[in-house]
Structure 1
Amino acid sequence: MNGFEKRANLIKEKIMKTTLEMMRTSDPKRIRIADISKAANVSQVTIYNYFGSKEALVREVFMDYVDRAIADFEAYMNEDHTFKEKIEHIILQKTGTYREIPPRLIGQIMMEDHELSQYIEKLFSEKTVPLTVQIIQEGKDSGEIPESVTVEGALAFIQLYMNQYEVMLEMAERSGDVDKLFESMVHMFFYGICGKP
């Protein structure tokens, strides 16, 4: 990569980082190219040259964010962690993700951008689900998940849990002690309300 390409990549990354930061606090519909230009300290023409439109910029930012999150997830799951640590990571990673990009925003962007929605669904079915199935099978092989629990049943339970994440995050934030509430949710995930570790 020559000097020009390096500078171009740095500028593009700066624009994307600025846009992501703005998306965390503002509705993408309300963010203007002029706002991004000012915050990133680049010209509007530069943004249009790299991305073509605000919609294409938002899509690329979101796709990049999801790619990095899945790469981090894959890396952690392929490291030498216990089954319990991996499940805790899945639950707690969502907390960080949802603090960075609210679920309502994720849903809104996916509803409005068919290409992005297809991209996310493909990643979910080709990477996230197989990795989760692998983790569940590891739990079964180690005896941490009883034989009576099927892979499909465990996967469905995890999915039910994840589908309610926005509600759980709101409750955690209202409780005043997010970490404590999520620790108790992790405990109940493994042992139920009355179960002991």
Structure 2
Amino acid sequence: MNGFERRANRIKEKIMKATMEMLQTLEPKRIRIADISKRANVSQVTIYNYFGSKEALLREVFVNFVDKAIRDFEEYMNGNHSLKDKIEHIIFMEKEAYRELRPGVIKELMIEDHELARYVEKLYKEKTIPWTVRIIEEGKMSGEIAKNVSAENVLAFIQLYMNQYDTILEMAAQSGDMDNFLEGMVQMFFYGICGKP
């Protein structure tokens, strides 16, 4: 990579970082190129030259965020961890993701950008579901999941949980001790409210 390409990458990363920071506090529709320009300390023309539009910039920032999360997830899942550790890791990854991008922002981005929605759907089908099934099968083989519980049962339970995840995260944030609240949710995920038999 020559000096020009390195400089171009630094500018692009600076713009994307400024945009990501703004997404933590603002709805996507309230973010303006002029505000990103000011925060990144670059001209509006520079932003348009690198990204073409605000929508393309938001898409690239979100895709970059998701791709990094997937890489981190796969790296951890390939490690030698128990099922409980893996599920706990997923929940705490979600907590960190929530701090960076609130679920409402993610939903708005996907409603506004059909290409982005298709990208997330593709990731879900090609990465999330196969990884989840793999984790379930490993859990059954190790005895961490009961043999009479099917992968479909676990996927349905996880889906119920994830459908309410933004509410759970809001409740965790309001509890005053998010980590302890989520640890309790992990405990209930595995053992219900009565504890391990």
Q: RMSD of aligned C-alpha atoms?
A: 1.0
Deviations 1:67-102 (A, max 9, x none): 111111111101111111001111111111112111
Task: State the distance in 2 between where 1:79 and 1:34 align.
Answer: 44
Partner of 1:152: 152
- One-letter identity of the residue aligned with 1:48: Y
Please give the TM-score of this superposition, normalised by the length of structure 1. 0.97
Aligned twin of 1:78? 78
Give unpaired runs (5+ residues) of structure 2: none
Q: Where does structure 1 differ by over 2 angstroms across 4 or more consecutive aligned residues? A: none
* 3-state SS, counterpart of residue 26 of structure 1: coil
Distance (Å, rounded) in 1 between the aligned partners of 2:144 and 2:30: 48
Separation in 1, partners of 2:88, 2:138: 15
Letter in 1 for 2:189: F
Give TM-score scaled by structure 2 length: 0.97
Shift of 1:171: 1.0
**% identical aligned pairs:** 68
Aligned to 1:102: 102
**1:29 counterpart residue number:** 29
Question: d(CA) in 2 for partners of 1:155 and 1:122?
Answer: 17
Give ranges in structure 1 of 5+ residues lacking alignment: none
Matched residue count:
197
Task: Encode CA deviations 1:115-143: one digit per residue, 9 max, x unaligned.
Answer: 00000100111011111110110000111
Deviation at 1:196, TM superposition (A): 2.9
Partners of 2:15 and 2:47 within 8 A in 1: yes
Q: Aligned letter for 2:173?
A: E
